[in-house]
Amino acid sequence: MAANIKVGISACVLGERVRFDSGHKLSRFVTNELSKHFEFVSVCPEVESGMPVPRPTIRLISDKERIALVESKDQSQNHTQSMLDFSATRIKQLSKQDLCGYIVCAKSPTCGMERVKVYGSNMAEKNGIGLYTNELMQQMPWLPIEEDGRLNDPVLKENFVTRVFCLDDFYQSMQGEPTAGKIVAFHSRYKLTLMAHHPQSYKLLGKLVANIAHYDIDDFYQLYRNGLMQAMAIRASRKNNTNVLMHIQGYFKRDLKRQEKAELCNVIDSYRQGVLPLLAPMTLLKHHMNRYPDDYLQSQKFLNPYPEELRLRYGL
């Protein structure tokens, strides 16, 4: 499979020696698994904004009305404005590339996504966002963003990869020119996915799509993309997945024998109780779909949200 889905990434996570101590934070999952599917766009805000390697450590401090980026041992060396200027310019460039996701370096005062230390006069609080990543979130609110360390969690990992492939599918479906028909067709394929992630958003987006004729198509494209990715950012729960599995099960009520129905019910219930992984009912449902094909079900991305070789549903 061609690695053509563009994903931004902190350069150190790719193994580039750009950190303050000339080190890196190589992620094996990123380089060994995701690199087969993603084309990474590498960025190191600190180096690209003019800081040397190696360099003095930097930190975020609470500076009156705003957060400032300064050197840890000499707070008179203030890098706040240069980092903000760089971030605005670089992210504006990235926004033209149809990025489908971004992997940032955890705890970094420039790239951290959450719980970055912010030093006050008396103590440090883990409530900050790196200056660069904060600008990224502001300029591209629809973009899936995740930290390198959180990708070790199977649920967070699966959710991030699902969102990246979803956004890529959306862009590919539009083919550079959104139309009402393309958006309606895309939404139809993601109905079960949205039900699993956030039933309320599924209903709201359904109403929105039903009124697409009342909008300028470019405005609707932006509105739908934001709503779609906000919904996808909510992790699919075991309860919601179970409801979707039972919904799919209903399509086979006339085809399956009593014993087969009982087996399917038991496997879905075992998943609901946490005894079996999601992969178990999914495999059985796909088996029945091969025997009794249904055009609507076969179009649903819930069943195949990303390449199977990523093996992300094994731990769910």
Specify whether 85 is located in the same domain as 140: yes
Q: Looking at residue 63, what is its pLDDT?
A: 74
Pairing assessment for the beta strands 102-104 and 116-119 based on DSSP bridges:
unpaired
- Number of Cβ within a 10 Å radius of residue 243: 16
**3-state DSSP call for residue 117?**
strand
Rounded Cα distance, 253 and 262, in Å: 11
H-helix or E-strand containing 291? Answer: helix 279-291
Half-sphere exposure of 136 (CA within 13 A, CB side): 28
On the 0-12 / 13-18 / 19+ scale of CB atoms within 10 A, 7 is buried
Amino acid (1-letter code) at residue 206: G
Rounded Cα distance, 233 and 246, in Å: 23
Q: At what angle do helices 279-291 and 258-272 cross, to 10 degrees?
A: 150
Specify whether 18 is located in the same domain as 129: yes
Q: Looking at residue 1, what is its pLDDT?
A: 43
H-helix or E-strand containing 118? Answer: strand 116-119
**3-state DSSP call for residue 102?**
strand
Specify whether 107 is located in the same domain as 135: yes
Tell me which residue range forms the domain holding 244: 238-310
Q: Looking at residue 3, what is its pLDDT?
A: 59
Q: Looking at residue 269, what is its pLDDT?
A: 98
Specify whether 287 is located in the same domain as 182: no
Rounded Cα distance, 24 and 223, in Å: 38
Mean pLDDT per 10-residue section of the chain, whose length is 316 residues: 82 97 95 95 97 97 88 95 97 95 97 96 89 97 97 95 98 96 98 98 97 97 98 97 98 95 98 96 96 96 95 88
Last residue of a domain, one of 196, 217, 232: 232
Structural domain contains residue 315: no
- Number of Cβ within a 10 Å radius of residue 40: 20
- Number of structural domains the chain divides into: 3
Amino acid (1-letter code) at residue 199: P
Residues in the chain: 316
pLDDT in tens, 21-73: 999 999 999 999 999 999 999 999 999 999 999 999 999 999 778 899 999 99
